[in-house]
Every structure is written in C-alpha cells, then in structure tokens.
Amino acid sequence: MKKNLLILLILAALGGGIAGFYLFTKQHPDLQDQQPAYTLDASALFAEFEADENAANTKYLDKLLEVQGTVAEVSESPDGGITLVLRPEDAMMGVQCSFLPEQSEAAKKLSPGSKVRVKGICTGMLMDVNLSRCVLVPES
C-alpha cells in the first residue's frame, strides 16, 4: 500500500516536471497555421483605434488579426526586420506590420502600391496601429 502511494507520488512529480518543462520551453506558435480572431480592412482597424483607443485595445490587444490593405511604405528596421505600413494614399497613418528578421524574406520584395493580406498580433497604437510577428497570407 505504501509502495503504491510512493509510485503514485513519483509519477505525479514526473508529470509535473514534464508539464513544467513543456511550458518553460514553449515556443511562440507559428502564426501561419492559426485562425485569426478578426479579419478586416487595415483602414477600418485604424479608424476603430482612432475613434476609441481604449475600446479597441480591449477588443484587439494580443489577438491575432488578419488585415488587408495597400502597402504605402516598406522599410527595414536596424535589426533587419521589415516593416510594412498599410494605409490609403491620402492618409497620414495606418497599420504598421512588423516582421521578425527571420520572417522578412517575402515582405522585403513588396513595393508600395501592392495589395496584401497580413496576419499579426495586435500590440496597440502608437502613431499607427501596430501588429507584431507578422506573416504574409498567400492569396487563395
């Protein structure tokens, strides 16, 4: 009886250890395979943040968003990551999509005027609404 209890305890400890190790080493999920929480136009997303930043934060922060829009700027951050700004031609601000350096290959080839779909995690609004860890969504 005591022996059984001991084995149970050891198993429980092992299980806990494995779960802990799994959590500790958990990588960021690959966004390419994830379903977005919201899909919308870049300009609609910006308009929502501009109208009420707090409400938009509550709705979108940390969520995976898929936005579509026209590329206005393609630039490289000093760390090698590509930044796309999606906004209509006559607007000052829009949605800034930031790609990690290792995810930037495809985004680097885009030029202003191209229409794109981008998935990324919403991190809030500075001048533009910012999306992080972005990936390009292939046109189906």
Partner 1 sequence: MKKKIVFLIVALMGLAQVYAQKYMTRNGHIWFYSHAPLEDIEAHNNQVSSIIDLSTGNVAFSLLMKAFQFEKALMQEHFNEKYVHSDKFPKATFKGKIVNLDGIDATKEGEYPAKVKGELSIHGVTKEVEVEGKITFKDGKMLVNATFPVAVADYDIKIPAVVADNIAKVVDVHVEMSYDPM
Helices 42-51 & 53-60 angle (0-180, nearest 10): 130
Q: Which of 2, 3, 24, 139 binds partner 1 (CB under 8 A)?
A: 24
**Residue 24 or 140 having the CB closest to partner 1:** 24
83 SS3 class: strand
Of the residues 100, 103, 110, 137, which one makes contact with partner 1 according to CB under 8 A = 100
The least CB distance from residue 91 to partner 1, in Å, is 14
Whichever of 102 and 139 has its CB closer to partner 1, that residue is 102
Helix (H, G, I), strand (E, B) or coil at 49: helix
CB atoms within 10 A of CB 66: 19
- Candidate residues 18, 44, 55, 75; the one interacting with partner 1 per rule CB under 8 A: 75
* Angular region, 54: left φ>0, alpha ψ -120 to 50, beta rest: alpha
Chain residues 103-122 in contact with partner 1, contact rule CB under 8 A: none
- Among 70, 69, 72, smallest CA distance to 40 is for 69
Residue ranges in contact with partner 1 by CB under 8 A: 23-29, 57, 61-62, 75-79, 81, 83, 85, 96, 98, 100, 123-128, 130, 132-133
